[in-house]
């Protein structure tokens, strides 16, 4: 029996645990630290995702055969370096390769060097020079903190005043600490966003289908950005022609370029794209699975995930094929009202079993906990209800049918997940 460790505690990690638990290879799955939903399919261990030494020790003591990492922070901190030093098999980039997400300055300079299409940009550490540039250049623009800021370090600014506020927030007030020592000021790109995520062993690239996230908190993409309020796959904007361009102009040069830089990239690579008149431009790289994109993607994945992850770790991905469901999958995130701002926790969730009894629906847990025999809310994004359907419309219908069964005091979710795909 194999032992597998999944690192993280969100909806993305629950979908990984769910998919791995359906593997034809019988295995014991651990999750660190996990959540109340994950606890049904895995043994949750109370070690935080950022506790690299604690996770390494656990994997050594238990002789874990394979580890897969959900969030970016342990990757940029060097969890892969640490596991490899101890001869443990782990899927993900080492700290050198994880700089593709850990530093936007590194990622932009890298893309420029290898001719990967991305918006024009300038890098500043002096707020006065940044202000002078913005006044001369004018808006719209984007202003981005260099380092990791939990998705909060990116400002899309429409006026000079907003641009100056963003510069002040990051460089003068140091709202993101050391992650904001430098900023990237980047050209504003207008088009349709899509996510393109691949498996790679550093040589072979196996893509997942296109997906699309809904970052804004309210219907119609209004309101502040969140970690993601829902996702669907496939994304109609990702035509076969666009797919080929992304592979040729972005993914292949990125994987080859990283190897040339002495930062061989192994793991999951996520390109956040803007598709403009049929051409893909990179907004950002993430060095991991997307959340919530992974939930619909793994529901569409017909092949066993475990051999794919093992092949990444062993460098034998060229021997692997992946089959995908020809239909669609939609994930609706059910959140605590107030998120991404302040919200309350500890509300009793009802209707979970009824929702899961709906055909082809899965309820992936994110911010949940067990308390007094109940499952209660324990975070901003609480659940990711995900369902398959022959078409996007059918997947939307199945998902919202399951969503309607679930309730708690203060539940909030978007009603329009997937609608953009229907318009295409
Ligand atoms: P990032 O974390 O860099 O992907 O940025 C977060 C979000 O900001 C993206 O999902 C886009 O919605 C938006 N964004 C980032 N860069 C740009 C850009 N150059 N032009 C327009 N919107 C952008
Ligand atoms: N869904 C966006 C992300 O995972 O970064």
Domains of the chain plus CATH, in order, are: 2-92 (3.40.50.20), 126-181 (3.30.1490.20), 192-319 (3.30.470.20), 328-423 (3.90.600.10)
- For residue 149, the ligand closest to its alpha carbon is 1
Q: 304, exposed or middle or buried, with CB in 10 Å at 0-12, 13-18, 19+?
A: middle
Pocket lining: 286 vs ligand 2, CB cutoff 6 Å? yes
Question: Cβ distance 350 to 406 under 8 Å?
Answer: yes
> pLDDT value at position 150?
82
Q: Which two tokens stand for residue 325?
A: 């469901």
> pLDDT value at position 177?
94
pLDDT in tens, the chain (424 residues): 999 999 999 999 999 999 999 999 989 999 999 999 999 999 999 999 999 999 999 999 999 999 999 999 999 999 999 999 999 999 999 999 999 999 999 999 999 999 999 999 999 999 999 999 999 999 999 999 999 998 789 999 999 999 999 999 999 999 999 999 999 999 999 999 999 999 999 999 999 999 999 999 999 999 988 889 999 999 999 999 999 999 999 999 999 999 999 999 999 999 999 999 999 999 999 999 999 999 999 999 999 999 999 999 999 999 999 999 999 999 999 999 999 999 999 999 999 999 999 978 999 999 999 999 999 999 999 999 999 999 999 999 999 999 999 999 999 999 999 998 888 6
- For residue 228, the ligand closest to its alpha carbon is 2
> pLDDT value at position 23?
93
From the list 422, 406, 270, the residue with the least C-alpha distance to 332 is 406
> pLDDT value at position 377?
98
Pocket lining: 101 vs ligand 2, CB cutoff 6 Å? no
> pLDDT value at position 422?
87
> pLDDT value at position 360?
81
> pLDDT value at position 138?
92
> pLDDT value at position 388?
97
- For residue 195, the ligand closest to its alpha carbon is 2
From the list 156, 119, 158, the residue with the least C-alpha distance to 138 is 158
> pLDDT value at position 420?
86
Residue 234, preceding peptide bond in cis (omega within 30° of 0): yes
Q: Find the 261 Cα to ligand 2 centroid distance in Å.
A: 26
CB atoms within 10 A of CB 1: 7
Pocket lining: 290 vs ligand 2, CB cutoff 6 Å? yes
Q: What is the DSSP string of 113-174?
A: HTT--B--EEEES-HHHHHHHHHHH-SSEEEEESS--TT-SEEEESSHHHHHHHHIIIIIS-
> pLDDT value at position 162?
95
From the list 160, 228, 155, the residue with the least C-alpha distance to 193 is 228
From the list 69, 335, 302, 116, the residue with the least C-alpha distance to 214 is 335
> pLDDT value at position 224?
86
From the list 25, 26, 34, 30, the residue with the least C-alpha distance to 5 is 30
Pocket lining: 185 vs ligand 1, CB cutoff 6 Å? no
> pLDDT value at position 31?
98
Question: Cβ distance 302 to 325 under 8 Å?
Answer: yes
> pLDDT value at position 405?
98
CA distance 272 to 215: 12
Pocket lining: 142 vs ligand 1, CB cutoff 6 Å? yes
Residues 6+ apart with CB under 8 A from 421: 212, 232, 235, 236, 328, 392
Q: Find the 288 Cα to ligand 2 centroid distance in Å.
A: 9
CA distance 411 to 351: 12
CA distance 89 to 79: 11
């Amino acid at each position: 029996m194999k032992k597998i460790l999944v690192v993280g505690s969100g909806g993305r990690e629950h979908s990984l645990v769910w998919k791995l638990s359906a593997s034809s290879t019988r295995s014991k799955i651990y999750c660190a630290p996990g959540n109340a939903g994950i606890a049904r399919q895995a043994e949750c261990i109370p070690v935080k995702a950022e506790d690299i030494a604690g996770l390494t020790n656990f994997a050594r003591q238990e002789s874990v055969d394979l580890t897969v990492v959900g969030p970016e922070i342990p990757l940029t901190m060097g969890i892969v370096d640490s596991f490899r030093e101890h001869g443990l098999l782990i899927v993900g980039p080492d700290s050198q390769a994880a700089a593709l997400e850990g530093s936007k300055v590194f990622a932009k300079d890298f893309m420029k060097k290898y001719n990967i299409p991305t918006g024009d940009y300038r890098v500043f550490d002096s707020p006065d020079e940044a202000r002078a540039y913005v006044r001369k250049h004018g808006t719209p623009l984007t202003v981005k903190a260099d380092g990791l800021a939990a998705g909060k370090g990116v400002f899309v600014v429409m006026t000079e005043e907003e641009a100056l506020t963003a510069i002040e927030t990051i460089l003068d007030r140091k709202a993101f600490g050391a992650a904001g020592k430098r900023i990237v000021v980047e050209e504003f790109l207008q088009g349709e966003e899509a996510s393109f995520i691949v498996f790679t062993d550093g040589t072979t690239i196996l893509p997942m289908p296109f997906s699309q996230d809904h970052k804004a908190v309210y219907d119609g993409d209004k309101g502040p950005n969140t970690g993601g309020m829902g996702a669907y796959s496939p994304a109609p904007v990702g035509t076969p022609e666009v797919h080929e361009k992304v592979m040729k102009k972005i993914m292949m040069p990125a994987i080859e370029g990283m190897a040339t830089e002495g930062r061989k990239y192994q793991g999951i690579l996520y390109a956040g794209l803007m598709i403009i008149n049929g051409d893909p431009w990179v907004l950002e790289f993430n060095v991991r699975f997307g959340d919530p994109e992974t939930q619909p993607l793994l529901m569409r994945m017909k092949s066993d995930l475990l051999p794919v992850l093992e092949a990444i770790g062993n460098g034998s991905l060229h021997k692997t094929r992946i089959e995908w469901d020809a239909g669609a999958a939609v994930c609706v995130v059910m959140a605590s009202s107030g998120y991404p701002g302040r919200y309350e926790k500890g509300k009793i969730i009802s209707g979970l079993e009824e929702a899961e009894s709906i055909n082809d629906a899965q309820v992936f847990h994110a911010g949940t906990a067990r308390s007094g025999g109940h499952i209660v809310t324990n975070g901003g994004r609480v659940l990711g209800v995900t369902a398959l359907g022959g078409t996007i419309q059918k997947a939307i219908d199945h998902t919202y049918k399951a969503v309607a069964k679930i309730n708690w005091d203060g539940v909030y979710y978007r009603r329009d997940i997937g609608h953009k795909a229907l318009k295409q």
